[in-house]
Chains A and B, each alone.
Chain A
Amino acid sequence: MVYIASWDEFAERSVQLFRADPHSSRYVMKYRHCDGKLVLKVTDNRECLKFKTDQAQDAKKMEKLTNIFFTLMVRGPDADISEASGKEQVEQAASKKGRGRRQ
Protein backbone atom coordinates (compact mmCIF):
# COMPACT_ATOMS: atom_id res chain seq x y z
CA MET A 1 0.00 0.00 0.00
CA VAL A 2 1.34 3.37 -1.01
CA TYR A 3 0.78 6.27 1.33
CA ILE A 4 0.25 9.76 -0.03
CA ALA A 5 2.91 12.02 1.44
CA SER A 6 1.23 15.38 0.96
CA TRP A 7 -1.78 16.21 3.11
CA ASP A 8 -3.27 18.63 0.59
CA GLU A 9 -3.08 16.03 -2.17
CA PHE A 10 -4.67 13.41 0.05
CA ALA A 11 -7.51 15.72 1.10
CA GLU A 12 -8.24 16.82 -2.45
CA ARG A 13 -8.10 13.36 -3.99
CA SER A 14 -10.18 11.76 -1.25
CA VAL A 15 -13.00 14.28 -1.73
CA GLN A 16 -12.84 13.67 -5.49
CA LEU A 17 -12.95 9.93 -4.95
CA PHE A 18 -16.01 10.21 -2.74
CA ARG A 19 -17.83 12.51 -5.14
CA ALA A 20 -17.18 10.13 -8.03
CA ASP A 21 -18.95 7.27 -6.24
CA PRO A 22 -20.67 8.24 -2.98
CA HIS A 23 -22.47 4.91 -2.63
CA SER A 24 -19.44 2.70 -2.29
CA SER A 25 -16.89 5.06 -0.76
CA ARG A 26 -15.92 5.05 2.89
CA TYR A 27 -13.65 7.10 5.09
CA VAL A 28 -11.70 5.26 7.75
CA MET A 29 -9.62 6.60 10.58
CA LYS A 30 -7.34 4.31 12.54
CA TYR A 31 -5.66 5.45 15.71
CA ARG A 32 -3.04 3.44 17.53
CA HIS A 33 -2.25 4.96 20.90
CA CYS A 34 0.70 2.73 21.91
CA ASP A 35 2.64 3.64 18.73
CA GLY A 36 1.23 7.16 18.47
CA LYS A 37 0.13 6.63 14.88
CA LEU A 38 -2.83 7.89 12.92
CA VAL A 39 -3.82 6.44 9.55
CA LEU A 40 -6.56 7.79 7.29
CA LYS A 41 -7.99 5.81 4.45
CA VAL A 42 -10.53 6.63 1.76
CA THR A 43 -11.55 3.91 -0.64
CA ASP A 44 -14.30 2.94 -3.07
CA ASN A 45 -13.04 -0.69 -3.26
CA ARG A 46 -11.25 0.04 -6.54
CA GLU A 47 -8.92 2.81 -5.56
CA CYS A 48 -7.48 3.33 -2.12
CA LEU A 49 -5.95 6.49 -0.73
CA LYS A 50 -4.03 6.41 2.52
CA PHE A 51 -2.28 8.93 4.70
CA LYS A 52 -0.15 8.13 7.72
CA THR A 53 1.13 10.49 10.39
CA ASP A 54 2.49 10.68 13.93
CA GLN A 55 2.21 14.47 14.25
CA ALA A 56 -0.31 16.17 16.49
CA GLN A 57 -0.73 19.02 14.01
CA ASP A 58 -2.03 16.58 11.38
CA ALA A 59 -4.79 15.58 13.79
CA LYS A 60 -6.14 19.10 13.48
CA LYS A 61 -6.17 18.86 9.70
CA MET A 62 -7.86 15.49 10.01
CA GLU A 63 -10.60 17.06 12.11
CA LYS A 64 -11.39 19.47 9.29
CA LEU A 65 -11.44 16.69 6.70
CA THR A 66 -13.68 14.61 8.97
CA ASN A 67 -16.10 17.54 9.14
CA ILE A 68 -16.05 17.80 5.34
CA PHE A 69 -16.89 14.10 5.07
CA PHE A 70 -19.70 14.35 7.62
CA THR A 71 -21.21 17.16 5.55
CA LEU A 72 -20.76 15.32 2.25
CA MET A 73 -22.26 12.11 3.58
CA VAL A 74 -25.28 13.62 5.26
CA ARG A 75 -26.12 16.32 2.75
CA GLY A 76 -25.00 14.50 -0.37
CA PRO A 77 -21.98 14.71 -2.68
CA ASP A 78 -23.08 18.04 -4.14
CA ALA A 79 -23.21 19.74 -0.75
CA ASP A 80 -21.34 22.96 -0.27
CA ILE A 81 -18.21 22.16 1.72
CA SER A 82 -16.81 25.68 1.68
CA GLU A 83 -18.30 26.24 5.12
CA ALA A 84 -16.43 23.29 6.58
CA SER A 85 -13.21 23.89 4.66
CA GLY A 86 -13.38 27.67 4.37
CA LYS A 87 -11.19 28.36 7.37
CA GLU A 88 -8.45 26.20 5.98
CA GLN A 89 -8.51 28.01 2.64
CA VAL A 90 -8.14 31.38 4.34
CA GLU A 91 -5.22 30.05 6.32
CA GLN A 92 -3.59 28.70 3.20
CA ALA A 93 -3.96 32.02 1.44
CA ALA A 94 -2.41 33.81 4.41
CA SER A 95 0.58 31.48 4.51
CA LYS A 96 1.16 31.81 0.76
CA LYS A 97 1.17 35.57 1.12
CA GLY A 98 3.74 35.38 3.88
CA ARG A 99 5.99 33.12 1.90
CA GLY A 100 5.95 35.44 -1.10
CA ARG A 101 6.95 38.48 0.89
CA ARG A 102 9.81 36.65 2.50
CA GLN A 103 11.66 35.96 -0.74
Chain B
Amino acid sequence: MVLLQPDPFLNELTSMFERSTEKGSVWVTLKRSSMKCKATRKKMETAGETIEYRCLVRATDAKKTISTSLSARDYQKFQASYATVLKAHMNALKKRERKDKKKTAEPEKKQKKSEPSKKPAPPASRASQ
Protein backbone atom coordinates (compact mmCIF):
# COMPACT_ATOMS: atom_id res chain seq x y z
CA MET B 1 0.00 0.00 0.00
CA VAL B 2 1.51 3.25 -1.12
CA LEU B 3 0.22 6.46 0.39
CA LEU B 4 0.38 9.15 -2.29
CA GLN B 5 -0.41 12.84 -2.51
CA PRO B 6 -3.81 13.52 -4.14
CA ASP B 7 -2.43 14.52 -7.57
CA PRO B 8 -0.05 11.56 -8.09
CA PHE B 9 -2.90 9.36 -6.85
CA LEU B 10 -5.16 10.61 -9.64
CA ASN B 11 -2.44 10.02 -12.22
CA GLU B 12 -1.93 6.48 -11.00
CA LEU B 13 -5.70 5.91 -10.93
CA THR B 14 -5.88 7.05 -14.56
CA SER B 15 -3.28 4.51 -15.64
CA MET B 16 -5.11 1.82 -13.65
CA PHE B 17 -8.26 2.55 -15.66
CA GLU B 18 -6.24 2.44 -18.87
CA ARG B 19 -4.61 -0.87 -17.96
CA SER B 20 -7.92 -2.56 -17.15
CA THR B 21 -9.83 -1.81 -20.35
CA GLU B 22 -9.43 -5.30 -21.86
CA LYS B 23 -9.88 -7.31 -18.67
CA GLY B 24 -10.06 -6.74 -14.98
CA SER B 25 -11.78 -4.27 -12.69
CA VAL B 26 -10.89 -1.19 -10.69
CA TRP B 27 -12.07 -0.70 -7.12
CA VAL B 28 -12.13 2.64 -5.37
CA THR B 29 -12.91 2.76 -1.65
CA LEU B 30 -13.74 5.80 0.45
CA LYS B 31 -13.42 5.64 4.21
CA ARG B 32 -13.51 8.07 7.08
CA SER B 33 -10.27 7.66 8.93
CA SER B 34 -8.08 9.46 11.44
CA MET B 35 -4.96 7.73 10.03
CA LYS B 36 -4.07 6.71 13.58
CA CYS B 37 -4.19 3.33 15.23
CA LYS B 38 -6.94 2.46 17.69
CA ALA B 39 -4.68 2.72 20.76
CA THR B 40 -3.50 6.24 19.88
CA ARG B 41 -7.07 7.25 19.18
CA LYS B 42 -8.26 5.99 22.57
CA LYS B 43 -5.40 7.75 24.31
CA MET B 44 -6.29 10.99 22.56
CA GLU B 45 -9.95 10.55 23.45
CA THR B 46 -9.22 10.10 27.14
CA ALA B 47 -6.88 13.09 27.04
CA GLY B 48 -9.76 15.09 25.62
CA GLU B 49 -7.98 15.94 22.38
CA THR B 50 -10.00 16.37 19.25
CA ILE B 51 -9.21 13.80 16.59
CA GLU B 52 -8.84 15.09 13.07
CA TYR B 53 -10.61 12.90 10.57
CA ARG B 54 -9.68 12.69 6.94
CA CYS B 55 -11.10 10.84 4.00
CA LEU B 56 -8.98 7.86 3.06
CA VAL B 57 -9.24 6.91 -0.60
CA ARG B 58 -7.90 3.58 -1.76
CA ALA B 59 -7.79 2.23 -5.28
CA THR B 60 -6.82 -1.18 -6.56
CA ASP B 61 -6.80 -3.15 -9.79
CA ALA B 62 -6.08 -6.40 -7.93
CA LYS B 63 -2.38 -6.15 -8.80
CA LYS B 64 -1.45 -2.86 -7.25
CA THR B 65 -2.97 -0.81 -4.45
CA ILE B 66 -2.62 2.91 -4.01
CA SER B 67 -4.11 5.30 -1.50
CA THR B 68 -4.36 8.93 -0.57
CA SER B 69 -5.82 10.86 2.31
CA LEU B 70 -7.85 14.04 1.95
CA SER B 71 -8.12 16.87 4.44
CA ALA B 72 -10.98 19.35 4.62
CA ARG B 73 -8.83 21.78 2.68
CA ASP B 74 -8.13 19.76 -0.44
CA TYR B 75 -11.11 17.43 -0.83
CA GLN B 76 -13.19 19.72 -3.03
CA LYS B 77 -10.41 20.07 -5.58
CA PHE B 78 -9.85 16.32 -5.52
CA GLN B 79 -13.58 15.67 -5.86
CA ALA B 80 -13.71 17.65 -9.11
CA SER B 81 -10.59 16.05 -10.63
CA TYR B 82 -11.76 12.59 -9.55
CA ALA B 83 -15.09 13.14 -11.29
CA THR B 84 -13.22 14.15 -14.46
CA VAL B 85 -11.08 11.00 -14.37
CA LEU B 86 -14.17 8.82 -13.93
CA LYS B 87 -16.06 10.57 -16.71
CA ALA B 88 -13.13 10.10 -19.07
CA HIS B 89 -12.82 6.38 -18.42
CA MET B 90 -16.32 5.11 -17.72
CA ASN B 91 -17.27 5.01 -21.37
CA ALA B 92 -18.24 1.34 -21.57
CA LEU B 93 -21.58 1.99 -19.88
CA LYS B 94 -24.70 1.95 -22.03
CA LYS B 95 -26.04 5.23 -23.28
CA ARG B 96 -29.67 6.07 -22.70
CA GLU B 97 -32.07 4.66 -25.30
CA ARG B 98 -33.65 7.13 -27.68
CA LYS B 99 -37.16 8.30 -26.84
CA ASP B 100 -38.76 7.39 -30.16
CA LYS B 101 -37.53 3.78 -29.96
CA LYS B 102 -39.27 3.03 -26.69
CA LYS B 103 -42.56 4.73 -25.99
CA THR B 104 -43.30 3.15 -22.62
CA ALA B 105 -43.79 5.31 -19.55
CA GLU B 106 -40.56 4.24 -17.86
CA PRO B 107 -37.86 5.70 -20.14
CA GLU B 108 -39.96 8.82 -20.61
CA LYS B 109 -39.92 9.42 -16.90
CA LYS B 110 -36.16 8.99 -16.79
CA GLN B 111 -35.65 11.41 -19.63
CA LYS B 112 -37.77 14.04 -17.95
CA LYS B 113 -35.67 13.75 -14.82
CA SER B 114 -32.45 14.64 -16.58
CA GLU B 115 -34.02 17.22 -18.86
CA PRO B 116 -36.42 19.23 -16.75
CA SER B 117 -36.24 22.14 -19.19
CA LYS B 118 -38.30 20.31 -21.79
CA LYS B 119 -41.59 21.87 -20.84
CA PRO B 120 -43.49 21.76 -24.20
CA ALA B 121 -43.66 17.93 -24.09
CA PRO B 122 -46.69 17.46 -21.77
CA PRO B 123 -49.33 19.28 -23.89
CA ALA B 124 -48.32 17.24 -26.95
CA SER B 125 -48.74 13.94 -25.14
CA ARG B 126 -52.06 15.09 -23.66
CA ALA B 127 -53.37 15.84 -27.15
CA SER B 128 -52.52 12.34 -28.30
CA GLN B 129 -54.38 10.68 -25.43
Contact = CB atoms under 8 A, between A and B. Distances in A.
Contacts of A91: 113-114, 116
A90 to B, nearest CB: 8
A28 interface: yes
Interface in B43-95: 53-55, 70-72, 75, 78-79, 82-83, 86-87, 89-90, 92-95
B21 interface: yes
A103 to B, nearest CB: 9
A35 B53 CA distance: 36
Interface in A81-103: 91-92, 94-95, 98-99, 101-102
A46 interface: no
B30 A73 contact: yes
A interface, how many residues as a size bin?
Answer: 35 or more
Query: DSSP majority for the B interface?
Result: mixed
A54 B93 contact: yes
B9 interface: no
A20 to B, nearest CB: 13
A95 B78 CA distance: 31
Interface residues of B, number: 43
B55 A70 contact: yes
Contact of A33 (B30, B55, B92, B112): B92
B94 to A, nearest CB: 5
B102 interface: no
Contact of A57 (B30, B89, B110): B110
B21 A74 contact: no
Chain A to chain B: the 6 pairs with minimum beta-carbon distance, closest first: A36-B92, A94-B116, A73-B55, A73-B32, A56-B93, A32-B25
Given A28-B29, A33-B17, A74 B71 contact: yes
Nearest to B118: A98
Nearest to B72: A74
B32 A25 contact: yes
B47 to A, nearest CB: 19
Contacts of B26: 30-33
